[in-house]
Amino acid sequence: MTTFQDQVAVEATIGQAAWGRVFGAAMDAIADRFARRETRATAAETITGLLAEVDKRNCWTLAQALGHPGPYRLQHRLSRARFDHDRAREEIARLVERELAGAEVVLVADETGDAKSSTDCVGAGHQ
């Protein structure tokens, strides 16, 4: 390996460790917003699947990437599982404030969104 390859490997390792710490903190912050621990675990898996390199992101492809026998757990979490979205959003906002406090950063939240071209499929609303 060259010095550059070693540096890239170290940076990737540090980045992965930082991601694990922040993701764990985020899941801990919203843990009690889920009615059941199984749903909390499925939510964490869903986020991991969404960040994976898959061609399409739907419950079937995410379930396959995560090693599930089918999409049913992911579909249950999306359609029927109880989750307090508003309080979770507040907790994540507090976590971001703590993480960025004192750092010289600028956080830009763009809430303009894009209108979808269809109205009769899942996720077709304002994004």
Q: Is residue 114 part of a domain?
A: no
Q: Is the pLDDT of residue 114 over 70?
A: no
Q: Centre a 10 Å sphere on the Cβ of residue 12 and count the other Cβ atoms it contains.
A: 10
- The string of pLDDT tens digits covering residues 76-93 is 888 888 888 899 889 988
The verdict on residue 115 lying in a domain is no
Question: Does residue 122 lie within any of the structural domains?
Answer: no
Does pLDDT of 118 surpass 70? no
Helix (H) or strand (E) holding 73: helix 72-79
pLDDT given for residue 102 in this prediction = 79
Predicted confidence at residue 34, as pLDDT, reads 86
Are 71 and 63 spatial neighbours (Cβ–Cβ below 8 Å)? Answer: yes
Tell me, yes or no, whether 117 lies in a domain. Answer: no
* Interval 6-58: pLDDT, tens: 655 556 566 677 788 888 888 888 888 888 888 889 888 888 888 888 888 88
Q: Is residue 72 predicted with pLDDT exceeding 70?
A: yes
- Kindly report whether the global pTM for this prediction surpasses the value 0.85: no
pLDDT of residue 69: 93
Whether 17 is in a domain gets the answer yes
Q: Give the total number of structural domains in the chain.
A: 1
Q: Does residue 109 form part of some domain?
A: no
**Assigned domain for 77 exists:** yes
Give the domain extent around 30. Answer: 3-100
Does residue 96 lie in a domain region? yes
CA distances from 95 to 25, 99, 126 (A): 8, 6, 26
| pLDDT for res 15 | 67
